[in-house]
């Protein structure tokens, strides 16, 4: 079984939406924040930058998702989109576990 994998996404521009491509065959994902500002998380491009749909992760909270289904099309990874509209620098720490 593969070890968990860590991604650190630097959200250094408050006007940008950042994409992190997750590996295939993940079972669980956890996102926590290093800085003191909230971050928007979405699963479709443009949603974290605009009106959504997105999940707001508070600076003192953690987002977890388990039993993540595989993409309906084989060998298509999941993309996560992140934006921190209130800061010029924030780091989102993403930890994934494999099936």
Residues 47-70: tens digit of each pLDDT:
999 888 999 999 989 999 998 877
Provide, rounded to the nearest whole percent, the portion of the chain with pLDDT above 70: 95
Long-range contacts of 53-57 (CB under 8 A, 24+ apart): 54/81, 57/31, 57/32, 57/33, 57/92
Contacts of 50 (CB under 8 A, 6+ apart): none
What pTM value is reported for the model?
Answer: 0.90
pLDDT at residue 1, rounded to an integer = 65
43: left (phi over 0), alpha (psi -120 to 50) or beta: alpha
CB 98 within 8 Å of CB 25: yes
Residuewise pLDDT in 10s, the chain (99 residues): 678 999 999 999 999 999 999 998 899 999 999 989 999 999 999 999 988 899 999 998 999 999 887 766 667 888 999 999 987 789 999 999 998
Domains and CATH numbers, the chain: 5-98 (2.60.120)
Q: Which DSSP category does 70 fall into? A: P
């Amino acid at each position: 079984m593969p070890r968990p994998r860590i991604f650190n996404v630097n959200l250094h521009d408050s006007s940008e939406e950042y994409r992190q491509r997750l590996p295939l065959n993940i079972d669980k994902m956890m996102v926590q924040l290093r800085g003191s500002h909230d971050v928007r998380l979405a699963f479709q491009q443009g949603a974290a930058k605009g009106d959504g749909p997105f999940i707001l992760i508070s600076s003192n909270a953690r987002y977890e998702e388990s039993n993540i289904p595989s993409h309906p099309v084989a060998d298509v990874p999941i993309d996560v989109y992140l934006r921190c509209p209130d800061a010029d620098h924030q780091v989102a720490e993403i930890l994934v576990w494999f099936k």
